[in-house]
Amino acid sequence: MARAPFQLGEHTIMPGQRLQVDVPVARLYTHTPLHIPVEVVHGRKEGPVLLVCGGIHGDEINGVEIVRRVLRAKAINSIRGTLIAVPVVNVFGFLQQTRYLPDRRDLNRCFPGSESGSLGGRIAALFREQIVDHATHIIDLHTGAIHRTNLPQIRAQLRPGSETERMADAFGAPVVLNAELREGSLRHYAQTRGIPVLTYEAGEALRFDEWAIAPGVRGVLRVMRRLGMLTGEQRRRTPAPAELANGSSWARAPIDGILRPKVRLGARVAKGEVLGKVADPFGNDEGEVRAVADGIVIGMSRLPLANEGEALFHIARFDEIEEAETAVESFNSSLVPPTDSFS
């Protein structure tokens, strides 16, 4: 029995076809139309419908490159099921190189949205109706905020034996955070509808970080293979099992001043350890930033300028800290300098 066509708005994608679609989203002040770019790869055989999207925050551009490389993978041409690839969801923020929409709303706090609401609510509603509601599984690609960077990590609401846990295990990030759902986020909306969602966090806003992009591409393809969408052997060695963090917390600036970090991203730290020092420009007044718990540094500020109380080092806590350190070291050792990163 032949597989049914895939319908996206007014567009019909036949089995075995891939099609790029521009979904109308809004207009600029000049009456120039804006579109969300989408590519659909509709396999000949039945299978999951996986949505892979980036750029819900317009300045988080590592996900844009991850989506591009996934679409260039040869294995995609013979998938089972359907891949919906959206490199840029927040086209307004992407054009302006900012996290937010023109009204300063965070699109990832606007779901499920409203057709008669704010700009964010209307875009969220359109994206939900046209794209999200078709998906059976979702991978949402993010980075750290402006001037902050994240160690590659998965954030998801995990339940033992759940489909979300299977996806997180397959992805191959060194750290997994069992993160609570944030109301208004894409993950919150999808999860409450029973759609398993992974959020991949890696790198820094407005940067292409190869050490975040390449593992992201491999992770998406691993999940597709775990879901039965891809066939054939995995060429790269299986990554070390990710360690599940039992919580996380931020170490904050003790005073206003200029930060001099003492540890790197991915470092194992002990409670009370000095992570950095903050001092005024003359060095007359100096304060130490100390770890609030034993753990691994999974995020940190890239901007040396700090206000008192500002979050500077994000530390994930683990029951098995040695295993977590091993997973991070194994991940780092697997990163090979690229020869044609942007081909």
Which residue in the block uniquely carries the two structure tokens 């991978």? 139
Q: Residue ranges of the domains in the chain?
A: 4-225, 245-333
Q: How would you classify the pairing of strands 305-306 and 33-42?
A: unpaired
Query: 244: which strand partners?
Result: 176
Mean pLDDT of 245-259: 96
* pLDDT score of 335: 73
* pLDDT score of 189: 97
Note the pLDDT tens digit of each residue in 103-135.
999 999 999 999 999 999 999 999 999 999 999
Question: pLDDT averaged over the chain?
Answer: 93
Tell which wins on pLDDT, 331 or 297. 297
What CATH number does the domain located at 4-225 have? Answer: 3.40.630.10
Helix (H, G, I), strand (E, B) or coil at 261: strand
CB burial of residue 172 (10 Å; 0-12, 13-18, 19+): buried
Whether residue 234 has pLDDT greater than 80? no
C-alpha span between 167 and 181 (Å, rounded): 17
Whether residue 233 has pLDDT greater than 80? no
Whether residue 21 has pLDDT greater than 60? yes
Whether residue 41 has pLDDT greater than 70? yes
* pLDDT score of 1: 65
Note the pLDDT tens digit of each residue in 65-111.
999 999 999 999 999 999 999 999 999 999 999 999 999 999 999 99
Residue 236's pLDDT band (boundaries 50, 70, 90)? low
Helices 62-72 and 210-226 pack at an angle, to 10 degrees, of 50
| Nearest one of 116, 192, 202, 194 to 155, comparing CA atoms | 202
C-alpha span between 169 and 257 (Å, rounded): 41
Whether residue 29 has pLDDT greater than 90? no
Q: Taking the complete model, does pTM exceed 0.85, yes or no?
A: yes
Whether residue 341 has pLDDT greater than 80? no
Q: Are 52 and 63 in contact (CB under 8 A)?
A: no
Q: CATH number of the domain at 245-333, out of 3.40.50.2300, 3.40.309.10, 2.40.50.100, 3.40.50.150?
A: 2.40.50.100
Listed in sequence order, the residues at least 6 apart from 106 whose beta carbon sits closer than 8 Å to its beta carbon are 57, 99, 100, 120
